[in-house]
Structure 1
Amino acid sequence: MAFTASEILALCSTIILMAVLVASFAPAVANEEGDILTAFRQGLEVPDGALDTWEPNLVNPCTWTRVTCDDDSNRVVRLDLSDLNLSGRLAPELGKLEQLQYMELARNNIQGPIPSEFGDLTNLISLDLYNNNISGPIPKTLGNLKSLKFLRIDHNRLTGPIPRELAGLPDLVDVDLSSNDLCGTIPTSGAFENIPLRSFDNNPRLKGPETQGPGGDDSSC
């Protein structure tokens, strides 16, 4: 089938327009994610200038230290912020990093709760928040993280029951909730079936394993 000159010209114009739209979309996304990380950074105390490259005037956060982006989409996929002696709180805005796969914030001095907005990080594979000063309950919304494999939030001040929603995570293989102040019973169904009991050590108010089955009610603990 032969194309006329006008049809070829129209096709070429369409291809060029699509390329321009894609090229303009990437900086816009990078700018939005830069704003998210800047909001997080403003709530932190960072010694020794560890995050000096997190400069709001540099639109693309993919150039910032300890931030990794996907080469094709230019979206943030990894935050490596462990061992920086950071103080401050986890920003709910981090839940808007839609392509984030690894959140590494271990061995700092992060305070406050785990935001329920983290349940929007549906591509998250690893959540490492251990050895901080995080308090409050484990959000039930983490049960939305169907890609999650590693949940290590030990050595904090977390309270309340272990959300049964976590038992439905199909890929969860490594859980550590030890050394907190969790209460209720230790779940044994679903994703928790093969999790060793040592992953729940040093929670004085935690009973277990559960004897009431997955429907056990820990809401009053």
Structure 2
Amino acid sequence: MEGASSLRALLCMLVCVVTLSVVYGNLEGDVLYSLKMALSDPNNMLRSWDPTLVSPCTWYHVTCNQDDRVTRLDLGNANLSGHLVPELGKLERLQYLELYKNNIQGVIPPELGNLTNLISLGLYNNNISGNIPPSLGNLKSLVFLRLNNNHLTGPIPVELFNLPNLKVLDVSNNGLCGTFPSSGPFEHIPWDNFKNNPRLEGPELLGLVPYDTNCS
């Protein structure tokens, strides 16, 4: 009887693992498919993104961990256009979101601030507009934040000043305003990474930006 009980427990555990894998696979596949539908893909880079599959882990440009959770999305220089979708914030294990050198427009979804495992956010060389979401200050694992060569406006959010692991920040060639900090994680970031923002001044030595009412 004890052996039978152990077998039943093992089978139950296996069923739970498989069920969770399918649930998360379907959820993350749905998220990525919503991104595909929001993008124009003239080079058919997303041809393998089949929403009928249980898991997106076999799709091109998608990397998963051993638990079949999406950890990387590599679509840099893919000739994509369209916009980002807020559903991306549901990819809880995502570590690398690389969509640089495309023609992506619209805004950065605030929901990206939910990606607390994110190490690198690469959105440079696109046509993204709007403000930098303050919610990106939630990304405590973030090391690389590259937003340069877009059409971003407004201030650099104070929430970014306390990112403990940030090593590389580049917001050059945008339309940002206010002042940039030179303390905390910003201490060793070169001026070139802030240049060509006509209304951005600095540095702000205290790490707190005295935003004026015209900075928006």
Match of residue 29 from structure 1 = 24
Indicate whether 1:134 and 2:128 are aligned.
yes
Listed one character per residue, the Cα deviations across residues 39-84 of structure 1 (whole Å, up to 9, x for unaligned) are 11111110121111111122311111101111x2100000010111
Structure 1 residues not aligned, in runs of 5+: 1-5
Contact 1:161 1:219 (8 Å CA) reproduced? no
Q: CA RMSD in A?
A: 1.1
Q: Partner letter of residue 47 of structure 1?
A: P
Whole-angstrom CA distance in 2 between matches of 1:24 and 1:209? 52
Give 1:214's aligned residue.
207
> Computing the radius of gyration over CA atoms, which structure comes out larger, 1 or 2?
1
Q: Give the distance between the partners of 1:14 and 1:219, measured in 2 at CA.
A: 63
Map 1:64-213 to 2 at 5 A: 64-70=59-65, 72-211=66-205, 213=206
How far apart are the structure 2 equivalents of 1:54 and 1:156? 27
Runs of 4+ more than 3 Å apart = none
**TM-score, normalisation: structure 1:** 0.94
Match in the other structure for 2:2 = 7
Which TM-score applies when normalising by structure 2? 0.96
Would you say the 8 A contact 1:33–1:97 is kept in 2? yes
Q: Percent identity?
A: 55
Q: Distance in 2 between matches of 1:136 and 1:118?
A: 14
Shift of 1:217: 2.5
Which residue identity is paired with 1:201?
A: K
Q: Contact 1:114–1:139 at 8 Å: present in 2 too?
A: yes
8 Å Cα contact 1:105-1:129 kept in structure 2: yes
Question: How many residues align structurally?
Answer: 214
